[in-house]
């Protein structure tokens, strides 16, 4: 207090051996400071409630367009019913999330995680399978080896960056990428899927897109013995420390909900009896 009085250049307290009381200047200083101190105390209590109290507040989520629309958005109904005090803001964007610039709390990412700046929890594997419709198979057959793709009508996906997505296969112990010649290219995963369902050609797609169609017989998978096994769907956030309750319950809810959807598929497919033949280099361009 003596240091504060020195900084202010005035006496705030009248001190005796028996009591301490405010001066007139001290009373004025207290009245001016009191609202600010109350706001600071309230802010500290609010932060403690967000950390330890019932889950509430604003939750900003980012996901890729396809996965967000097909998987994340349907699960949000159950999440909101369980946690009505949490307001959800879902952003669908195929570009990599910038947590700071976009003010995102949690992001869903697909593929391989190479960003060491975020915490990434793998929800499920992300199989990539080449699929066709039954009508296409009857008319054209299906490739049995990767090099057979050159003789088929392939449908490609253009990514958010503008490049064509390269098909991936695990040949031996290595992941190899191929860019097939295409009859059609789309910059939307749903359009690629619809073209395959319509019998226009074959495409390599993620398990979450095709699981229901495979089980219903609307699609057929091939080259499953070459499906890459190093991709996944991840739930990402910036830190494990001091997570607000709204983020903790969202992570737990989505992890359980997505894992219950059984989107893995590769283990349920019957693979051809013939083994993979060595493929040193295949040009599909």
Q: What is the pLDDT of residue 78?
A: 95
pLDDT surpassing 90 at residue 88: yes
For 129-156, write each residue's pLDDT tens digit: 999 999 999 999 999 999 999 999 999 9
Q: What is the mean pLDDT of residues 207-235?
A: 91
CATH topology of domain 128-230: D-Maltodextrin-Binding Protein; domain 2 (3.40.190)
For 239-279, write each residue's pLDDT tens digit: 767 788 899 999 999 999 999 887 755 444 443 333 333 22
Q: Where exactly does CATH 1.10.10.10 map onto the chain?
A: 2-52
For 26-58, write each residue's pLDDT tens digit: 778 778 877 777 677 666 656 665 566 678 889
Q: What is the mean pLDDT of residues 231-239?
A: 89
Q: What is the pLDDT of residue 10?
A: 79
Q: What is the pLDDT of residue 274?
A: 38
Class of domain 2-52: mainly alpha
pLDDT surpassing 90 at residue 72: yes
CATH topology of domain 57-125+231-259: D-Maltodextrin-Binding Protein; domain 2 (3.40.190)
How far apart, in Å, are the Cα atoms of 271 and each of 144, 178, 262, 268? 10, 21, 19, 9
Q: What is the pLDDT of residue 267?
A: 44
pTM of the model: 0.71
For 162-190, write each residue's pLDDT tens digit: 899 999 999 888 889 989 888 899 999 99
Q: Where exactly does CATH 3.40.190.10 map onto the chain?
A: 57-125+231-259
Q: Give the number of other Cβ atoms within 10 Å of residue 52's Cβ.
A: 9
Distance CA 75, CA 261 (A): 10
Query: pLDDT above 70 covers what percent of the chain?
Result: 83
Query: pLDDT above 90 covers what percent of the chain?
Result: 47
Question: In this structure, what token pair is assigned to residue 39?
Answer: 């706001």
Question: In this structure, what token pair is assigned to residue 54?
Answer: 């019932």
Q: Where exactly does CATH 3.40.190.290 map onto the chain?
A: 128-230
């Amino acid at each position: 207090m003596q240091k504060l009085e020195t900084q202010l250049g005035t006496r705030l307290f009248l001190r005796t051996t028996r009591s301490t009381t405010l001066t007139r200047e001290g009373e004025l200083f207290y009245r001016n400071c009191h609202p600010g101190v109350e706001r600071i105390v309230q802010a500290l209590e609010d932060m403690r409630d967000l950390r330890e109290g019932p889950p509430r507040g604003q939750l900003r989520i980012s996901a890729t367009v396809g996965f967000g629309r097909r998987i994340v958005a349907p699960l949000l109904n159950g999440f909101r019913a369980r946690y009505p005090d949490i307001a959800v803001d879902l952003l669908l964007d195929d570009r990599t999330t910038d947590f700071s610039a976009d003010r995102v709390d949690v992001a869903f990412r697909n593929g391989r995680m190479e960003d060491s700046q975020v915490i990434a929890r793998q929800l499920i594997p992300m199989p990539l399978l080449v699929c066709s419709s039954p009508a296409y198979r009857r008319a054209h057959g299906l490739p049995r080896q990767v090099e057979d793709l050159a003789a088929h009508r392939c449908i490609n996906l253009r990514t958010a960056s503008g490049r064509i997505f390269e098909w991936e296969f695990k040949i031996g112990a290595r992941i190899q990428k191929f860019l097939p010649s295409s009859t059609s290219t789309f910059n939307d995963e749903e359009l690629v899927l619809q073209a395959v369902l319509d019998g226009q050609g074959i495409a390599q797609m993620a398990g979450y897109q095709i699981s229901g169609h495979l089980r219903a017989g609307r699609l057929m998978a091939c080259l499953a013995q070459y499906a890459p096994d190093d991709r996944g769907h991840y739930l990402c956030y910036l830190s494990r420390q001091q997570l607000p309750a709204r983020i903790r319950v969202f992570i737990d809810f989505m992890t359980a909900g997505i894992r219950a959807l059984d989107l893995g598929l590769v283990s349920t497919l019957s693979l051809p009896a013939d083994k993979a033949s060595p493929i040193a280099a295949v040009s599909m361009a």
